[in-house]
Amino acid sequence: MSSYTSEQKSTIVVVIITAFAATFTGSALNLSIPAMGRDFNVSASMIGWVVTSYMLTVAALSVPFGRLADVTRKKKVFLPGLLIFSVSSLSSAFMWDFTGMIVLRALQGVGGAMIFCTNTAILISAFPGSERGKVLGYSVASTYIGLSAGPVVGGLMNHYFGWRSIFLLTFVISGMVFYTALRKLPEGGASEHELSFDILGNLLYITMIVALMYGFSAISTSRASVALIAAGALLVVAFVWHELKTEYPIIQIRSFTGNVAYAFSNIAALLNYGSTFAIGYLLSIYLQVVLGYSSQAAGLVLITQPAVMALLSPYAGNLSDRVSPFLLASAGMGCCAVGIVFFIFISTSYPLWLIILALVITGIGFALFSSPNTNAVMACVEAKDYGVASSILATMRSLGHTSSMAIVTLVVGMYMGNSALASAAPEVLIKMMHTSFKIFAVICLIGIFFSAKRK
C-alpha cells in the first residue's frame, strides 16, 4: 500500500475494519444460538429470528440507503449507520425479553444496511478501475477474517462469559471504527449528477421486500404468510411499473434487462449466498446439539471455511483484474456446490475430517466467487451509480442470507414444529439438515448456470 495516497490508505483502513466488525457479530452469534434458545425459552423455529430479523432489515433498506448515499455524500449515510450499529449492539447485551431482542436486531440491521450500501462504493470510488479487484480483495478478506474470528472468539466468549459478551465486544469494535471513520474517512464529493430521492419508489421497495421475505420466513408458523407473499408479488409488479416510468428510479430496471452480465452477476450473488449462508448455522447445531461439542470446540471446527476465504480472497481479487471475473466466480460456485454435497451425508458417525474438508472446499469456492463477482458487477456500471450498484449487491447478499435462513426455518418447522432444540432427537435434527442441504445444493447448481451464462 506504499504507493497509495494518504486518503486512499485511510479509506482502505476504515472499510477493512468496518467489513470486519459488520460480519463478526453474525458469525459469532451462530455459536450462541443453542444457548440463546435456552435463555429465552423459545422454540427452534423462533430462535432463528435472531438471525433473520437482522438480515431482513438489511435486505429491505440497503437499496433506499444506497440511493440516499448517491443523492448526498456516502459518508453522511456511512457514519450514522456505524453509530446505530454500535448503540444497538450495546443495547442487545442488556436485553432480557425475546421480542425486545428481535427489535434490537432489526435496529442493528438498519445500521448494517447503511454500512453495507456504502462501504464498497466508498472503497472503489477512491481507486482507479485497474486497482478495483485488488482493493476489493482486501475488503472481502477482512470480511472473511471477521467470519473467521467470529466462531473462535464467539465460541470462547459464549463458553466462558455468555452470549451477551459478544454484543459488548461488537459495541467496542464498532465504536472504535466510528471514531476512526469520523476522523480519517475523506468527505468525498457530492454527486455531480442531478438526482432525486424517489419516496414512493422507496416505500414500494421496502414494503415489497418485507412482505415477501417475512411471509416466506414465517410460512411454517403463521397463517397470514401466504397472503403476505401474494401481496409482495403484487408489489413487485407495482414497483417495476413505477420504476420504469419515473425520471429518477432507485433501481434502473433497464440495467437488468439490457445488460445480461450485470443482471446475471446479481442473480448469481443471490443464489450463492442463498445456498451457503445457513451452513454455519446448521453445523453449529450439528456440532453442539447432535455431537455434544462445546461452543468453543465447535468454533474451532467452523473457523476452517472463513479462514480459507480470508487467506485466498486477496489473491482472487487481484487475479480478477487479469483473468475473467466471470470465469473465476463460476469456478467458485462449483466448489461451493461440491462442499454442500458433502454435508448432505452427515450423520451421528460422520468423520470430522470430512466436515473440515467440505468447509475447506466451500471456503475456496467463496474466495473465488466473492471479490471477482463484485468486480464484475461494479465494472458494469458508471461511477455515478456506484452507490446503488453497491447497495443492490448488498441487497442480493442480504436477500440470499434471509432466504437461506427462511428455508432452514421452514424445514425446522416441518420436522420439529414448536419443539426446542435441546429436546430434539438427533435423528430428527439429522433429517432436517439432510433436507436443508439438498435444497441448498439445487440452488447452488442453478447459480452456476447463471454465473456461467453471463459472458
Q: How many angstroms separate the Cα of 367 from the Cα of each of 68, 314, 320, 370?
A: 30, 8, 11, 6
Q: Are 118 and 82 in contact (CB under 8 A)?
A: no
Question: What pLDDT was estimated at residue 225?
Answer: 81
Question: What pLDDT was estimated at residue 112?
Answer: 87
First vs last C-alpha separation in the chain: 32
For the chain, give the longest Cα–Cα distance: 62
Residue type, 29: L
Question: What pLDDT was estimated at residue 338?
Answer: 94
Q: What is the pLDDT of residues 265-306, one digit of tens each?
A: 888 888 988 898 888 888 988 998 889 888 778 878 888 887
Listing DSSP states for 432-455 in one string gives HHHHHHHHHHHHHHHHHHHHHHT-
Q: What is the pLDDT of residues 384-430, one digit of tens each?
A: 666 667 667 777 877 787 788 788 888 887 887 767 666 778 888 89
Name 122's Cβ contacts closer than 8 Å, sequence gap at least 6.
11, 14, 15, 74, 75, 78, 185, 188
> Which has the closest alpha carbon to 56: 402, 346, 440, 368?
402
Distance of CA 345 to the CA centre of its chain: 26
Segments of the chain scoring below 70 in pLDDT: 1-4, 128-133, 136-137, 140-141, 144, 147-148, 151, 186-197, 220-221, 255, 381-388, 390-391, 418, 420-422, 454-455
CA distance linking residue 432 with residue 413, whole number of Å = 9
> Which has the closest alpha carbon to 123: 295, 278, 8, 294?
8
Q: How many angstroms separate the Cα of 452 from the Cα of each of 69, 121, 373, 395?
A: 32, 25, 12, 21
Q: How many angstroms separate the Cα of 217 from the Cα of each of 115, 232, 248, 326, 422?
A: 24, 13, 32, 31, 22
Question: What pLDDT was estimated at residue 192?
Answer: 46
Q: Are 53 and 375 in contact (CB under 8 A)?
A: no
* Angle, in degrees to the nearest 10, between helices 132-160 and 98-125: 160
Q: What is the DSSP letter of 455?
A: -
CA distance linking residue 174 with residue 367, whole number of Å = 25
Question: What pLDDT was estimated at residue 366?
Answer: 85
**Angle at alpha carbon of residue 204, lines to 200 and 208, rounded to 5°:** 175
Q: Are 379 and 394 in contact (CB under 8 A)?
A: no
Question: What pLDDT was estimated at residue 434?
Answer: 94
Backbone angles phi, psi at 183, to 5 degrees: -90, -35
Q: What is the DSSP letter of 190?
A: P
